[in-house]
Structure formats: C-alpha cells, structure tokens
Amino acid sequence: MCIRDSLQYVWIGVLTHYILDVVGSRRGIALFHPLSDKEYSLPTGVTTSSKYADLVTVIITAVEIAALWAINEFVINLELDLSAAAQTASQAAAGFGL
C-alpha cells in the first residue's frame, strides 16, 4: 500500500469530523473560516458543555461507522491491506536500526 492508496482513509476522517461538527454541535462549523465567519449547522446537536455531549458524539460516531460499513459492503470496497502496512512499517523500523 502506498501513501496515495491510504489517502482515502484520511479523507474519510476529514469527512466524519465535519459531519460530527455539523450534526453533533449546536454551534456548527465555520466551514470557510477565515474567509467567512458564517457557521453552518443542522437544527440538531448539543453544546460542548452539555451533559449529553459525550453521548451524542458516541451515537453520531456509531452511525458513521455503520454508514461506512454499509458503503464498504454494498457500494464500494474500501479494502485495507494491513499485511502490506505492517510490512512497510517493519521495513521502516529496520531502516532506523530498530
């Protein structure tokens, strides 16, 4: 697996972070900051100081994981070859004398 192949997982992480901000936070997200201070959100979510903030975060994360599973199973295979990643990591460690 080369770096280019793993960038899809970086973009999944960025997307899920934005989803969590838009759906889970009462305040939303300043998507185009510093060009614009307008904040985008849905009429859902809680404030970060709410006693429900952790629960909302866990629920949204669980829904995101379920959605990614469904996409992987029914739409497009997001195959991750861990053996290749482990081999690359061991080769890198050997290069550092570890």
pLDDT band at 1 (very low <50, low <70, confident <90, very high): low
CB atoms within 10 A of CB 24: 21
Q: What is the pLDDT of residues 39-83, one digit of tens each?
A: 777 778 888 888 998 998 899 889 888 988 888 788 877 776 656
Q: What are phi and psi of 46, to 5 degrees?
A: -135, 165
Taken as a whole, the chain contains a residue count of 98
Predicted TM-score (pTM) of the model is 0.60
Bridge partners of 92, per DSSP, are none
66-69: which pairs have CB atoms within 8 A and are 24 or more residues apart? 68/12
> In the predicted model, what is the mean pLDDT of the chain?
78
Residue 60: count other Cβ atoms within 10 Å of its Cβ: 20
Split at pLDDT 50, 70, 90, the class of 96 is low
